[in-house]
A = this chain, B = another copy of it.
Amino acid sequence: MIMSRIEAARDETTGNLLDRLLAGLPAETVLTGPDVTASYANDMASFCESGAPAVVVLPRTVEQVQHVMRTATDLRVPVVPQGARTGLSGAANASDGCIVLSLTKMDRILEISPVDRIAVVEPGVVNATLSRAVGEHGLYYPPDPSSWEMCTIGGNIGTASGGLCCVKYGVTAEYVLGLDVVLADGRLMSTGRRTAKGVAGYDLTRLFVGSEGSLGIVVRAVLALRPQPPQQLVLAAEFPSASAACDAVCRIMEGGHVPSLLELMDRTTVKAVNGIAHMGLPETTEALLLAAFDTPEPGADLAAIGALCEAAGATQVVPADDPAESELLLQARRLSLTALEAVKGTTMIDDVCVPRSRLGELFAGVERIAEKQGLTIGVVAHAGDGNTHPTVCFDATDPDESRRARESFDEIMALGLELGGTITGEHGVGILKKEWLAREIGPVGLEMQRAVKAVFDPLGILNPGKLF
């Protein structure tokens, strides 16, 4: 009896919300069936709670986004912005009764300028679509998260995504020059610029990058582009220990080299890859380092770092002769996460970034944690950045193993902080790492961050429960 009264009240609320939304939106942009809305409840993070959205809206225009936010403000309804939901921290997970605001249908590339080296895009443009489109003009949009064939630029901006290229080209944040943002109350604000430089006022553009939809809704972005570099050439080096491979990474970076990719896979990951594919990796490999250069003379650069790898103890160094061979060498890296998933059925991917001088200690520490917890933890790393993805493999149907997985995940973050690192190099905080954010930035930082949030979202309707 009580339940049905609550249900009725809730329906009335939802009904009112729907009426208000539909007053300013075409019917086809508003999805309400519980099966449909439930399919928008999650991103790709494990272990993060999610609720049942009241409604999913897929706007096509800035005005429609403004209408949604005005409605949400009037009715005090939470709004959860979403891109392709490939995130790994639960930042796009729905909360009960929320409006899911999916920006995937605002997917136009509005402008590409080779002279100004910029692109102007809507948030729903898929990363790979943009990359290919600018490629036709001889241009390059570097940020390349693993999910680049699916993830959207809006999502990349929300999480400040990284990728393999960051060691040379930096992260999403470096490529966002200006934004149009719909604020919580529906007003439109422009930040930044479309020029190469600009210092007029506070850098609100950067404040929005990585804010996980908690400050406003990005509806348009001006992105910086680079000239397309030459195709990269890859080298693979096998090491007798992760420590020796980390030493090679330090020598390479200390030597002033600028690789376009510098990735490291530990023994566990190599074994896992061998378990699902025949890549020709020796079972004795304790660590595999992949380096690439997209310079005019990549062969010479590879030879130089090959020598550094050997000095650090590499047992085999294999430079590719051409792009096709390079692709082959990268396949083991590409298969890593799939291979680690196959180990136990479920994985928790951590994202700890440490100063690269501490990389060896991170690898050693993760090995200790895996041993102590009796778990398989494979480490794949954007080694040149010190950004590691220790990946805990476990059986999610086994409660004790799940508990140990969760524990080791936390222990890895504690280790990262202890080594002067951060709890997240590129995946973001979302729901998954809220408590850890507080530990990393401390009480004063947290107070200031919350106060900044309150400036843009005084009613707390923008992606509540994320970050803090």
> Nearest chain B CB to A239's CB is how many angstroms away?
18
A196 x B353 contact (CB < 8 A): yes
> Nearest chain B CB to A145's CB is how many angstroms away?
12
Query: Is A386 on the interface with B (CB-CB < 8 A)?
Result: yes
> Nearest chain B CB to A181's CB is how many angstroms away?
9
Complex: A357 Cα to B118 Cα, angstroms = 11
Query: Is A209 on the interface with B (CB-CB < 8 A)?
Result: yes
> Nearest chain B CB to A419's CB is how many angstroms away?
9
Cβ-neighbour of A196 out of B138, B166, B193 (below 8 A): B166
B353 x A197 contact (CB < 8 A): yes
B199 x A210 contact (CB < 8 A): yes
Interface centre among A196, A386, A425, A451 (most CB of B within 10 A): A196
A: number of interface residues (CB 8 Å): 89
A187 x B455 contact (CB < 8 A): no
> Nearest chain B CB to A346's CB is how many angstroms away?
24
Query: Is A288 on the interface with B (CB-CB < 8 A)?
Result: no
A190 x B442 contact (CB < 8 A): yes
Complex: A258 Cα to B441 Cα, angstroms = 37
Query: Is A227 on the interface with B (CB-CB < 8 A)?
Result: yes
Task: Say how many copies of this protein the assembly contains.
Answer: 2
Complex: A343 Cα to B257 Cα, angstroms = 47
Within 8 A of B (CB), among A195-227: 195-204, 206-207, 209-211, 215, 226-227
Query: Is A267 on the interface with B (CB-CB < 8 A)?
Result: no
Complex: A358 Cα to B386 Cα, angstroms = 40
B256 x A445 contact (CB < 8 A): no
Complex: A160 Cα to B454 Cα, angstroms = 26
A355 x B207 contact (CB < 8 A): no
B204 x A449 contact (CB < 8 A): yes
Complex: A452 Cα to B187 Cα, angstroms = 17
A194 x B444 contact (CB < 8 A): no
User: Contacting chain B: which of A10-18, A108-116, A368-376?
Assistant: A108-116
Complex: A160 Cα to B138 Cα, angstroms = 30
Chain A 267-288 per-residue mask, 1 if CB under 8 angstroms from chain B, else 0: 0000000000000000000000
List residues of chain A with CB under 8 Å of any chain B CB: 113-118, 138, 159-160, 162, 166-167, 170-171, 173-174, 183, 187-191, 193-204, 206-207, 209-211, 215, 226-228, 250, 253-254, 256-258, 295-297, 353-357, 382, 384-387, 420-429, 433, 436-437, 440-442, 444-445, 448-449, 451-456, 467
What 12 new A-B contacts, CB under 8 Å, besides A116-B357, A200-B429? A160-B199, A171-B199, A183-B448, A193-B421, A195-B425, A197-B387, A198-B425, A200-B433, A202-B207, A202-B452, A227-B257, A227-B258
The 6 tightest CB contacts between A and B, nearest first, are A227-B256, A206-B206, A196-B385, A198-B422, A197-B425, A115-B357
Q: List 19 A-B pairs, Cβ < 8 Å.
A: A113-B355, A116-B253, A166-B197, A173-B203, A174-B174, A189-B442, A190-B442, A191-B445, A193-B353, A195-B354, A195-B421, A196-B387, A197-B426, A199-B424, A201-B429, A201-B440, A207-B452, A296-B296, A455-B455
